Structures are given as C-alpha cells and as structure tokens.
Amino acid sequence: MTIKAYSIEGNGTFAQDVPAFAAAIRGAGAEIVLVPGVSRAKRSMPAAAMRAGAAIDTNVVAVQAEGDKLTVQRWAYRQRILTAFTRVARPWVILVDPSLFGDVCAQLGVTAEPMPSGAAVETRTTVNGVVAAGKGGESTIKPDSPLLFVAGAGWTKKQADGAAHLDEAAATITGFLAKSGASLGSSKSLVDMPEAAAAFSFMSHMNQVGQTGSTPRHAKGLATCCHGEEPHVVGWRFVNERRAVNLDANCGWAQGKTDVLYVADAFAVMKKVNELL
C-alpha cells in the first residue's frame, strides 16, 4: 500500500485548485492520499477527487494501518458517535483534521510535500483580490488558527468602579485577535445580550461555541469571563489545551474542565497580554 501526503498552504481559487489537485492525485501514483482538512482543501478537493476518479472522505480524526488495510475514524451524529470504516476504492483521498495531520503522517511514516497549485486554466473569470466575509471587515472566525479565544458575558458586567466598560472590553478583545491571529468564540449569553450588540459588532451568533453553538477543534483555547458550566464546556471537548480566566475560584472551569485556571480579572490579564504581544 503506497501512501502520499500533501500539505496545503496559502490561498487559491476553486478554478485553479481543482485541476491542480486532480493532477497531483493522478501523478502521485499512490493508493492513499493524505491532505490536511483546511478550508481551502475542503472547498476544492472533493471536485478534484471526482475529476481524478478517486474516493474521498473528510473530517477524519484518526488513521490506522494494519498491513494493506487502512481504517479511518470520524465523528457522526453531531459528534456523538465515533465511527470507524475502510474503503476498497483506490485512490482514496483522506482529509485529516488539520491539528492532527502531522501526528497521522508521523504515525504512518510519511512526510508531507507541498501540494502543487496554481495550474494554468482556461477561464473567463479574473480574480482581482480576496475580500473577507462579513461587513467588509476581517473575519473573526478562523478554523485554521491554532488558538481559540472565547469571550463570555462577564466582559459586560460592572467593574470595580461600579460601571461597565463595553468599549474598553471590545477594544481589548479585538486588539488581542489582531495581534495573536486567534479565532473568536462567544458564549450564548453574550451574543444574545442586546445592550452589548453595538460595542461587540464584530461578534454574531456564528461565533457561538458550546452546547447550542459550534464544536471547534483548535489546538489551544482560552476562555475569558465564561462561567465554565456544561453549556460552555461541551463545545470545547476537542480543544487539546484549555485555559480560562475567571474571578471566581469555584467556577465550572475549576471543576477539572480546564488545564489551567487563572483566578484574575480578565481586563487586567488581557491588557497585559496585549502589551506583551
């Protein structure tokens, strides 16, 4: 069984990537092609696999090889059931969770090579640039970022001087996102708060993480001003390293739900972090 692994960096258009990826799949001469499941690969790789006559599976979290048999695992039913299966179709393209891609390659003894891209194609479309989704500004949702930063309703509470500082909170959060490149998450209580909508205009229900939100898979996570109870924590179960900042030493995060809990004022902590960055 021959296995080939490709890494994917940078940006590319669908029209350019599909023929280039298809040519790479055919040219590899491999039975198994491993690719990190970044947004660019998820956009173009299914069409490329179809063009190359290959089978494809995405969102794979584990790959095991036993002789000539390869078994993969992926979650189903809203991450409640972990399924394991194999395929007889070859070539077989497997999109592995980005945070696990390096570990899977090392386990299988393969070294990832850069994926060829930017193939010349005949198209009437001219790309003048790429604009981030949203209201003309930078997107705060970055699935490929190694860090998830989650803000809770505590950012809107009254501080030691008896007043709420929404504008300062918003500036602190956006300043950290700009300097760290982190992806932004939010608790449901914060995005549902009408009085915070104006100051936190960069945040929407798309940022919501938890039981009623998304289940991200970033390598590291930092929660601030969240109480850390089950509705919050359930969305963090695939984050490898979890840290939290909360003034309450008895909050939910302290009940074994985070690796490190900083009992401190998030305003002061994040201000100092921004200064260090």
3-class SS letters over the chain:
CCEEEEECCCCCCHHHHHHHHHHHHHHHCCCEEEEECCHHHHHHHHHHHHHHCCEEEEEECEEEEECCEEEEEEEECCCCEEEEECCCCCCEEEEECHHHHHHHHHHHCCCCEECCCCCCCCCCCCCCCCCCCCCCCCCCCCCCCCEEEEECHHHHCCCCCCCCCHHHHHHHHHHHHHHHCCEEEECHHHHCCHHHCCCCCCCCHHHEECCCCECCCCCEEEEECCCCCHHHHHHHCCCCEEEEEECCCCCHHHCCCCCEEEECCHHHHHHHHHHHC
Which pLDDT value is given to residue 117? 65
> Is 202 part of a structural domain of the chain?
yes
Q: State how far the Cα of 108 lies from the Cα of 168, in Å rounded to an integer.
A: 49
Q: Give per-residue pLDDT as tens, 250-261.
A: 888 888 889 999
Same domain, residue pair 153 and 206: yes
Which of these three, 114, 135, 155, is where a domain ends?
A: 114
Instruction: Tell me the CATH number at 183.
Output: 3.40.50.1220
Which of these three, 65, 92, 114, is where a domain ends?
A: 114
> Is 85 part of a structural domain of the chain?
yes
Report the percentage of the chain scoring pLDDT > 90.
61
Mean pLDDT over 198-220 rounds to 89
> Is 127 part of a structural domain of the chain?
no
Q: What is the mean pLDDT of the chain?
A: 89
> Is 128 part of a structural domain of the chain?
no
Q: State how far the Cα of 275 lies from the Cα of 269, in Å rounded to an integer.
A: 10
Q: Per the structure, how many domains does the chain have?
A: 2
Same domain, residue pair 84 and 159: no
Which pLDDT value is given to residue 99? 87
Which pLDDT value is given to residue 215? 86
Q: Give per-residue pLDDT as tens, 19-28.
A: 999 999 999 9
Radius of gyration of the chain (CA): 21
> Is 272 part of a structural domain of the chain?
yes
Which pLDDT value is given to residue 121? 58
Which pLDDT value is given to residue 123? 63
Same domain, residue pair 89 and 176: no
Q: Please say if the pLDDT value at position 52 is more than 70.
A: yes
- Among 19, 51, 10, residue whose Cα is nearest residue 122: 19
Mean pLDDT over 158-175 rounds to 92
Which pLDDT value is given to residue 259? 92
User: Range of 45's domain?
Assistant: 3-114
Which pLDDT value is given to residue 214? 86
Same domain, residue pair 160 and 230: yes
Same domain, residue pair 53 and 110: yes
Instruction: Tell me the CATH number at 81.
Output: 3.40.50.620
* Cβ burial, residue 135 (10 Å; 0-12/13-18/19+): exposed
Which pLDDT value is given to residue 118? 56
Same domain, residue pair 76 and 183: no
Same domain, residue pair 151 and 272: yes
> Is 261 part of a structural domain of the chain?
yes
> Is 9 part of a structural domain of the chain?
yes
Q: What tokens appear for 270 in the block?
A: 């994040």
Residue 125 CB partners (closer than 8 Å, separation 6+): 13, 15
Q: Give per-residue pLDDT as tens, 222-253.
A: 999 988 888 778 888 889 899 999 999 988 88
Q: Give per-residue pLDDT as tens, 122-135.
A: 666 677 776 655 44
Q: Give per-residue pLDDT as tens, 71-112.
A: 999 988 767 789 999 999 999 999 999 989 999 999 999 999
> Is 19 part of a structural domain of the chain?
yes
- Among 257, 217, 233, 79, residue whose Cα is nearest residue 152: 233
Same domain, residue pair 195 and 239: yes
Q: What is the pTM of this model?
A: 0.60
Same domain, residue pair 163 and 265: yes
- Among 220, 215, 226, residue whose Cα is nearest residue 254: 226
